[in-house]
Amino acid sequence: MKQKKQSFVNYRLKSAELITVDMVRVAVENDHPIDRNCWSMINSKGECPLKDVTVNDQIVLLRLPKPFKFEEDSYIVYKGLTCYIEPTEVVRTKEFEQLFFYDGDDLGVCYNENQTSLAVWAPTATRMNVICYKTWHDEKGDTYPCRRDEKGVWRIELVGNYEGVWYLFEVYVNQTWRRVVDPYAKFLGVNGEKAMIGDPKRTEPEVWPVLRPQESANDCIIYELHIRDYTISLDNGINHKGKYLGLTEQGTVDNDMRVTGMDYLSYLGITHVELLPVQDYGSVDESNRETDYNWGYDTTHFFVPEGSYATDPYDGYCRNLEFKQLVAALHDRQIRVIMDVVFNHLYIWEESALDMLVPGYFFRYTTDNKISDGTGVGNDFASERKMARKIIIDAISYWVEEYHIDGFRFDLMGILDIETMKQVKEAAKKKNKDILLFGEGWDLPTAYPREKRAIIDQAKSLVGIGFFQDKFRDGLKGSTFEVTQPGFVSGSKQGLNEIISGMQGSMNKFDMPIQAINYVESHDNHTLWDKLKLVHPIERQFTLQKRHKLATAIVLMSQGVPFIHAGQEWFRTKHGVENSYNSPDWINVYNWKQRAHFDSSVQYIRTLIQMRRMHAGFRLESYEMIRNHFKVIKAESKCIAYHLRGLEKVDEWNDILVIHNAGLKEEIIFLPKDKKWQVFVDGDIASLIPLYKIGEDCARVSALSTFICVSL
Ligand code: CA
């Protein structure tokens, strides 16, 4: 009697974790040696003694005679004490993937007028309900138990017409009930608090305009904008400010009757608009949208558009319909739409539906079982796990099919794994052969082998997927992080080789030029204007503008794919704010007054855009062609000149000479003598018809400018 009482007091089972499909690790708190012969496991089938017991200090490893039964709660029993077995590390094992990988296409809701089927993947859950709410404010709802089907998928069929009914899953896992939003939800209410059963047909635009085929694979000029920034100013003539619909309005003008909004995108002549995140994100309160601002790099729902850009975020259909209207409106202008997608992490991982449904599965862990944080924002999505990979591929396929999206920019793509990106490409190409895929291939310290990640150094394993050319960028404007460091346009020769390589489409890094995403400014870091102000704090504005235009001209005239940040064409400033992800509108706004004030710069950039689109010599399709036709004729610290020659087969301009002079003095370049040259770009002027003929044997290139002449 006395002894029994002692064991009860002195022994405590702190935890019992399932670490592989047949191994439980128990942590014991005790003062006495642990007895190997008193262990067993209990579940609904009864008690089963455990003989294979390893004791190491206060850790006990118990091998199970049969694989663990995930479908029910099981307990370890030791000398009258019991402890629930929590599946932890097991979810990250190969055996778990083999047991539970589900490749069906019916996760989420399958709706028709007579019946709605729901399916959710949660193999470690032991019970699951769906709760249906007839109205948004119904707090209790009606609870229906789901049945466990193969591969850890829970299902239910609801007979009748459930259109417009709100729902949550209620999952019982690790002895706790939690209510979660369906990770495959396609319709959401305000702030994504509940999902809705809906009919996708109700969100179709009147027509889906037909896009003309692209002239060539890299006939792309990407223009990056944020829905709110671009439409929010008071003087842009746009009615739906800060909304998807703001980008569907035609005929909008500023106070000087200059076109704005969607018409301006057509006017500028870009081919692709890249939208900062429009997947539903968590950092803006959709019920109070006037005060919050965020770029939105904090995805909460992979398959649904963000609600704060909808006219009515409470209406389950509104955001879907209005975002489709935006895509359709841009397609009507033959402008393609790229989504900036954030799969590398989730907003608050502990509160994410995915982690509540399958704790520990969807995120990466370090070898000592801490959550990996290579992204620097608290968690890294474990894209290499099969169901995590599947949700990425399913989401991409869905956006292409349902929303007619033309391309994706993968935020921190270097966190994702190569195999996932390959499968994304395969799935997306099946639905749209012209799909444009690219991303940030930064090498970040995430808990996954470097050689298996979609970083820029592995680009050869990712044929057809583009990478932002950060070295080209920094070569042109100076280090992004050492903010006062100068680049080529400030007279530095430090990055000369990177710049020449960049102008040739970075051919040593990739298999095709479309993989080289050339840029000098994006939403991240200082705008080019703010950076140049830091490098040249006392320089005259006039000179800074020349440097700025030179940098943009180099990007636009280089081989590969040019990428422009909205407002770069008129020296956009964010008033020195380096990371404006949650800055107020007055920092982030697309300022149409400045656009008007710097109209001559806009004209210059617009003409270069048109010139690039009219002349295939600036966007050769293969590295073989670049090798054959691109000849560097001068590469000095302050001047780079190259000759695009023998272009008869691809361009009516057979011979093009491009000279970028980053010096403060005129540069003289001697021309091949046997030809007559006509000038199209000189100083501050760019033209699609010749400005003048060169009467001598040399080109005189004015300071801080691009010069383009053509032998016809
Ligand atoms: Ca949201």
pLDDT, residue 451, reads 97
State the distance from the centre of ligand 1 to the C-alpha of 243, rounded, in angstroms: 13
Q: Which domains are present in the chain?
A: 11-87 (2.60.40.1130), 96-180 (2.60.40.10), 222-618 (3.20.20.80), 630-711 (2.60.40.1180)
Question: Which ranges of the chain have pLDDT less than 50?
Answer: 1-8
Residues 351, 345 contacting (CB under 8 angstroms): no
Q: How many residues does the chain have?
A: 712
State the distance from the centre of ligand 1 to the C-alpha of 189, rounded, in angstroms: 9
Q: Which two tokens stand for residue 458?
A: 């592995």
Distance, CA of 420 to CA of 54 (rounded, Å): 38
Q: Which two tokens stand for residue 635?
A: 């590469």
Distance, CA of 377 to CA of 375 (rounded, Å): 5
pLDDT, residue 5, reads 44
Residues 458, 430 contacting (CB under 8 angstroms): no
3-state DSSP assignment of residue 603:
helix
State the distance from the centre of ligand 1 to the C-alpha of 167, rounded, in angstroms: 17
Contacts of 430 (CB under 8 A, 6+ apart): none
pLDDT, residue 638, reads 92
State the distance from the centre of ligand 1 to the C-alpha of 286, rounded, in angstroms: 6
pLDDT, residue 358, reads 98
pLDDT, residue 674, reads 81
State the distance from the centre of ligand 1 to the C-alpha of 698, rounded, in angstroms: 59
pLDDT, residue 10, reads 64
**E strand residue ranges, 88-141:** 108-111, 115-121, 127-133
**E strand residue ranges, 462-559:** 466-468, 516-518
pLDDT, residue 260, reads 98
State the distance from the centre of ligand 1 to the C-alpha of 277, rounded, in angstroms: 11
The CB density around residue 593, as the number of other CB atoms within 10 Å, is 14
3-state DSSP assignment of residue 188:
strand
Contacts of 433 (CB under 8 A, 6+ apart): none
State the distance from the centre of ligand 1 to the C-alpha of 296, rounded, in angstroms: 8
State the distance from the centre of ligand 1 to the C-alpha of 307, rounded, in angstroms: 5
Only one residue has tokens 């047909």, namely 201
State the distance from the centre of ligand 1 to the C-alpha of 228, rounded, in angstroms: 14
pLDDT, residue 1, reads 41
State the distance from the centre of ligand 1 to the C-alpha of 44, rounded, in angstroms: 42
Instruction: Supply φ then ψ for residue 385, to 5 degrees.
Output: -80, 145
Catalytic annotation, residues: 411, 440
State the distance from the centre of ligand 1 to the C-alpha of 448, rounded, in angstroms: 29
The DSSP 8-state label assigned to residue 372 in this structure reads P
Only one residue has tokens 């004729």, namely 633
The DSSP 8-state label assigned to residue 190 in this structure reads G
Which helix (H) or strand (E) segment is 470 a member of? helix 470-477
For 40-62, the three-class secondary structure string (H helix, E strand, C coil) is EEEECCEEEECCEEEEECCEEEE
State the distance from the centre of ligand 1 to the C-alpha of 309, rounded, in angstroms: 9
State the distance from the centre of ligand 1 to the C-alpha of 414, rounded, in angstroms: 25
State the distance from the centre of ligand 1 to the C-alpha of 303, rounded, in angstroms: 12
Distance, CA of 116 to CA of 114 (rounded, Å): 7
Q: Which two tokens stand for residue 342?
A: 């954030």
Distance, CA of 418 to CA of 424 (rounded, Å): 10
Helix, strand, coil in percent for the chain, rounding step 5: 30, 25, 45
pLDDT digits (tens, 9 = 90+) for 599-629: 999 999 999 999 999 999 999 999 999 999 9
State the distance from the centre of ligand 1 to the C-alpha of 289, rounded, in angstroms: 10
Contacts of 671 (CB under 8 A, 6+ apart): 657, 677, 694, 697, 698, 699, 709
Residues 710, 644 contacting (CB under 8 angstroms): no
3-state DSSP assignment of residue 128:
strand
